[in-house]
Amino acid sequence: MKILIVDDEQLARERLISLLQEFDVKDSQIRQAKNGAEAVQQFIQQPVGIVLMDIRMPVMDGLEAAQNLMKMNEPPAVIFTTAYDEHALAAFERNAIDYLLKPVRKERLQAALKKAVIWSQAQQQAVTEANDNGARTHLCAHYRGGIQLIPVEKVIYFQADNKYITTRHSEGEILLEESLKHLETEFSERFIRIHRNALVAAREVVGIEKHADGHSFIRLKSTSDEADQLEISRRHLPAIRKWLKTGTLPE
């Protein structure tokens, strides 16, 4: 049973380690991360079965980290450990196994770990598909043996290419293994469909360019490179015009 402890406070991590040792969990089975981003990266590099995670942390909080972890092929059992009780509902919407208030009591931790051990991957996946709510603030992409976290606010567009999605952002581009339809659903309030193979950040849309051959292309705020010329399909042209005129995204 490998366990990842995620908390930005060292004393909190040390207390959990001490409690786990009382359950005969070996040091070699325990790993640590200081925030949600570190937790996701560590999990990708070396998966664990259980994650004990705080909620309020810098860079990426525990709720978003859990949301990213639930998208993994073999998601872990997540147990939240926090000093605040107002996040309980959001935690269970992220498919948390349990929600422990600090200071964590030995008996409650033991009970939560038992739940985690018997929680099957099949059950997790079923709940994940039913309750996958809320848009992420970061995207996770595999990159040279590790992962790269891309803030959604820096994404300019998504373009489908076979089974991959080219994600153009303010610092370059990266490939995602996600479906364009899922991205459209998750980020419907921030991105607009311009073609069956492309989504563009609404904030980036500044105009339409019509070429001599009658084809229309999107004009973007952050880039004018030819490589970034994206065609607007006739089907989606009215929605783009509406956005430019009224600032209203299609429903």
pLDDT at 133 over 70: no
pLDDT tens for 236-247 read 999 999 999 988
pLDDT at 181 over 70: yes
Show the domains of the chain with their CATH numbers. 3-131 (3.40.50.2300), 138-246 (2.40.50.1020)
Mean pLDDT of 53-82: 90
pLDDT at 33 over 90: yes
Which has the higher per-residue pLDDT, 61 or 134? 61
pLDDT tens for 115-126 read 888 774 545 555
* Predicted local confidence at residue 120, as pLDDT: 47
* Predicted local confidence at residue 235, as pLDDT: 94
Chain centroid offset of residue 238 CA:
31
Q: Is the pTM of this model over 0.85?
A: no
- Six-digit token pair at 205? 């849309």
Among residues 25, 249, 227, 232, the alpha carbon closest in space to that of 117 is found at 25
- Mean pLDDT over each residue of the chain, to the nearest integer: 87
Mean pLDDT of 67-87: 86
Mean pLDDT of 155-175: 91
User: What are the residues whose beta carbons fall under 8 Å from the beta carbon of 141, sequence distance 6 or more?
Assistant: 147, 148, 150, 167, 174, 175, 176
Which has the higher per-residue pLDDT, 70 or 208? 208
R_g of the chain computed on alpha carbons: 21
From residue 73, how far is each of 70, 124, 235, 250 by CA, in Å?
8, 11, 35, 32
